[in-house]
Amino acid sequence: MTIRTLLSAFLINLVFTAIGNAENHPHILVNNEDKATILAKINQQPWAEKIFNKLVNDVKPYVERHQKDPQWILSRYLMNRIPGKRYTRFTSDKEGTVLIGYGGDAPYPTVRVSPHKRIPISKSGFRYRMPTIEELVPNDTSTLMFLQSTEPGTSKEWVDPQAFIGDINASINRLALEASIVYWLTGKEEYAAFAADLLSQWARGVWYQDPITGPGRVGLLDIQTLGDAASEPMILAYDFLYDYMRARKYETKYYEGVFTKIANTLTLHGYTNNNWFAAETPTLVYAALSIEDPKQRDYYLGFYLNRDTVVNGCGQLSLPTALKTWFTPDGHWKEPGGYHNFPVGNLLRSALAMEKNGYPIFKMYPTLFNSSYVMLKYSFPNLKVSSYGDTGRPAQSPDMLEIGIKMADQYHLPVLNQLTASMDVLIKNKQYSRDESGYYGLLCYLPSIPESKGLDYHWPRSGTLDFAGCYLQRNGMDKEKGLMFVVQGATYNHNHANGMSMELYGAGYNMGIDPGNGPTYEAPMHVNYYTEWAAHNTVTGAAASAPVPIFKGGGGAKNIGHIALA
């Protein structure tokens, strides 16, 4: 029997034994035993106090208005409200780009589904400004919005809001979560009432809705499964409000079906040939952890722990398969650095929730733990990472480093001192402030960063990322005196057709920066310039690095070959 088989068997057994606290709420990120620690954190740590005060200040005006006018915030939520048009079925085009069909009629308003995969762009290539909650029309059922372009000198115009639909509802969902956290920490029921009323309207609508009919990329409440992350705050809010909603006789019959529907959609939909499946894991895991039926809960958690569901490139990869397929041995995601932080950050948050519920994920999968800080290994002396591919210049995510520090502390790993020394540099260089970590930092991060015992951060003099044809060498880690170069060029997901491109570092400056990406992957500036060899500090012969076939838009690979170290 192989080690992997043994690990899988062990995790299968854990599915049925580790979830004992699921009957208690909250339990996904924290439990009631953590409340005293978090309150002490607020009282003793200025960074935590600042986060808590911001949570209160952000949501307090809406809570106070809700006490006088409960319909105000509910009417701003974008719903299908007209009888006969309370749609339950949605159909996309064959590419999964835009909704083309609506059907069904629920007895209650249903949640509007984002009808397009992109935000609106003006004819001249400028973005539109998303309206604030206060600017929204109450009980709006129009398919257009009166939006202001970011182009100077233009006036408002009627525009299809496209992906703004999901973004607007997501902003209200976050208010519901913030209010539920304030209630849990303070016991102030006006915050619970605000969040519970939003939750009730949302869940009652979603209960009647079917996932979008279309290709594997489509979701439940968004044309893309990635957009279903907007439901994540509602799942967490329900965890905090579970007892309150029952004590106040809210109708809670909808939630089991809603969470099952979310988990099922994210299990079967989304891409496995890029970062989508990984980015979706917190919503999948949080929804699965919220299902009360133990067999159903174990069934959906199993897709995270050990079972793949892939049909024509769509579905979900289990964590063991993801680590084998999408990670380098040292934990780097096999896409540009900016994409490392996105999928891996979500995998780490999923794993932390599983750890909270009794699953030793980080202990079982050291590569996942390594991924929390591997970007430091590929950083310049200013702790910025080489800019290649279509994400612009990334950096080590301090939130991922916080999770790494938490797990290194929990499991008493020797790398802890190196991680804390690196965090000290990030904070000293003003690349991170703990008071910017939001509700997640308040609830999940250690009260204080452990002492690094006088160690300086230090990373290897050379490194290779084979999938990206990336080779680096550095001479010292001093921000001003350190020297470093990166040579890069290969075909991989989200690459640029940059030929053999070089980036240098000296005297505190990065030279030869990749231009990153345009407003969208289909914008003319992105297609015709940012992705092409002419936009790079590169070596090419007769435009030989132009991709074959010619790139016409999207976020996939541009076929340019692969450089090798001689």
* pLDDT tens, residue by residue, 46-87: 999 999 999 999 999 999 999 999 999 999 999 999 999 999
CA distances from 424 to 92, 417, 427, 434, 442 (A): 48, 10, 5, 11, 19
At which residue do the structure tokens 């409000």 appear?
241
> pLDDT at residue 1 above 60?
no
Q: What is the pLDDT of residue 17?
A: 45
Kindly list the domain boundaries of the chain, sorted by start residue. 24-119+162-291, 120-161, 462-539
pLDDT score of 380? 93
- Encode pLDDT of 301-315 as tens digits: 999 999 999 998 899
User: Is the per-residue pLDDT at 8 higher than 80?
Assistant: no
Angle at 531 between CA 530 and CA 537, to 5 degrees: 75
Q: Which residue has the higher pLDDT, 265 or 545?
A: 265
Tokens read off for 80: 């299908």
State residue 10's pLDDT score. Answer: 47
* Percentage of the chain modeled with pLDDT above 70: 95
Q: 541 falls in which pLDDT band (50, 70, 90)?
A: low
Q: What digits encode the pLDDT tens for the residues 197-208?
A: 999 999 999 999
Predicted pLDDT of residue 491: 93
Section 183-189 average pLDDT: 98
Strands (DSSP E) found in 276-370: 309-311, 314-316
Per-residue pLDDT, 532: 85
Instruction: Taking residues 132-138, report their average pLDDT.
Output: 96
pLDDT at 14 over 90: no
Helix axes of 254-268 and 281-290: crossing angle, nearest 10 degrees: 150
Q: Which of 224-228, 397-401, 553-557 is predicted with the least confidence, judged by mean pLDDT?
A: 553-557
**Could you tell me if 89 and 211 are in contact, meaning their C-beta atoms sit under 8 angstroms apart?**
no
3-class state of residue 475 by DSSP:
strand
As a whole number of angstroms, the distance between CA 235 and CA 281 comes to 13
Distance CA 519, CA 125 (A): 8
- The pLDDT assigned to 140 comes to 94
State pLDDT tens for residues 469-522: 999 999 988 889 999 999 999 999 999 888 888 999 999 999 887 778 877 888
353-372 residue pLDDT tens = 999 999 999 999 999 999 99
Picking from 6-20, 139-153, 481-495, which range would have the lowest pLDDT averaged per residue?
A: 6-20
CA distances from 7 to 27, 320, 352, 455 (A): 25, 9, 18, 35
What pLDDT, on a 0 to 100 scale, did the predictor assign at position 2?
A: 46
Least confident range of 41-55, 144-158, 478-492, 522-536 = 522-536
Is the whole model's pTM more than 0.95, yes or no? no
7: pLDDT confidence band, cut at 50, 70 and 90?
very low
Is the dihedral angle over the CA atoms 352, 354, 360, 364 positive or is it negative? negative
Give the pLDDT band (50/70/90) at residue 12.
Answer: very low
pLDDT tens-place string over residues 207-239: 999 999 999 999 999 999 999 999 999 999 999
pLDDT-derived band at 550, boundaries 50, 70, 90 = confident
The SS3 assignment for 379 reads strand
3-class SS of residue 246? helix
Mean pLDDT computed over every residue of the chain: 91
Pairing relationship of beta strands 89-92 and 470-475 according to DSSP bridges: unpaired
Q: What's the rounded Cα separation, in Å, for the pair 378 and 484?
A: 10
CA pair distance 216, 195, nearest whole angstrom: 32
- pLDDT at site 499: 86
Q: How far apart are CA 13 and CA 497, in angstroms?
A: 47
Q: Percent of the chain having pLDDT more than 90? A: 73
